[in-house]
Amino acid sequence: MAALHMLAIVTLFLHFKIIAGDETRIISSKAYSECTQFISPTNATVIEGIYSVAACGVQCSTETQCVAFSVSVAGDTCMIHREMFLTGVCYSGGWRHFNVQNRCMNGGEYDQDKLSCQCYGGYIGQFCERIMQDCSEGYSTHHYNKGSGIYLIQPYMAPGPFKVKCRMQYGGNTYIQIHMDGSTNFNRSWQEYKDGFGDLTKDFWLGNDKIASITNGRSQLLTFKTTDNSSTVQRQRIYKSFTLSQDGLYTMTYERSWAHILPEHVGGDCLAELKGQPFSTFDRDNDDSPLNCAQEHQSGFWFKNCTPCNPNGVWSETPDKLRAGVPWEMFWTPVTGDNLILSCFAYLKA
């Protein structure tokens, strides 16, 4: 029982330290001992029966709009305030006064006008206390709503946080693949596809372990977007409830797919015949062909006999921007004519 009591005291103290900050930054009544009257900020809430500074600090931490608090010298009353104490103003009257310098955790900044925390880097929550599960959660909680960048996420199924590229628009998109400039070689081993490779700001594959943790944590839409010389816009195909198995084979499945409503944006359904296939690389041949499809296509993907899809193939740009007819080039069929795929983006959205 004594151990539990001590644990409770330590927990309260740590919680108070997070909220109240360094004691040297606290405005104390001792600095204004010549004052005879207590001047309180407006919008104060009085709480009886609070017997310590730490307990009053915890009370403040549970109130979203609390930015300062006062504890009576008698030690039995706590006041929490919606306005900070001002330096140079006299506060006294048998109270100790404390400003909450920054109630936000993990580098967040408190917005006095909005009475909320501005979080950064993937942290969300009332006090930026946790990492978002995916980019969609960061968007839906209104912490992030514009631009693209690198953020931390931690899906429920992941053992720890990891970095991803997010587009914080249109619901929040978590990129799992970008192949647009040939800066990264996609002819990689099973282990490399498992862990992920490349530069999140350029060409990359996020990693099958990471993709599996995202897709098994929350239902996800997968969107493939491609560009070719037949159109000035991106073509897209969307796959509902896309998942990778967590049995070590990274088998791909989904419920159904659809294209964009505008004809010029329509992308072919390249994954239809690959549904239910495990992943393959040159050193782990899991396709249904007598050939090693990953070796033929010089990439890792879900292959069968071999495949109408090779978005991880060798990036190139022929003079006429048409396919060269070699199995290792980057392609996505069907497309208009026999056009070379110039770029491919794949992202998830919950």
pLDDT at 321: 83
What is the chain's mean pLDDT, rounded?
Answer: 84
pTM of the model: 0.78
Assigned domain for 71 exists: yes
Assigned domain for 148 exists: no
pLDDT at 14: 36
pLDDT at 24: 29
| Rounded mean pLDDT, 304-329 | 90
Statement: residue 23 has pLDDT above 60: no
Q: Coil, strand, or helix at residue 240?
A: coil
Contact status, residue 138 vs residue 168, Cβ threshold 8 Å: yes
Statement: residue 3 has pLDDT above 80: no
| Rounded mean pLDDT, 84-100 | 73
| Structure confidence by residue, pLDDT tens digits, 162-193 | 999 999 999 999 999 999 999 999 999 999 99
Assigned domain for 11 exists: yes
Q: Which residue do the tokens 């072919």 mark?
A: 268
Q: Coil, strand, or helix at residue 78?
A: strand
Give the CATH number, domain containing residue 28: 3.50.4
With cut-offs at 50, 70 and 90, classify the pLDDT of residue 25.
very low
Beta bridge partners of 205: 177, 197
pLDDT at 184: 96
Structurally, how many domains does the chain consist of?
Answer: 2
Query: Where is the domain boundary, 99, 127, 145?
Result: 99
Helix axes 53-61, 2-20, angle to 10 degrees: 60
Most confident among 281-295, 305-319, 328-342 (mean pLDDT): 281-295
| Rounded mean pLDDT, 135-142 | 97
CA distance 61 to 315: 53
**Residue 323 belongs to domain spanning:** 172-349
pLDDT at 71: 86
Whether residues 88 and 226 share a domain: the answer is no
pLDDT at 264: 83
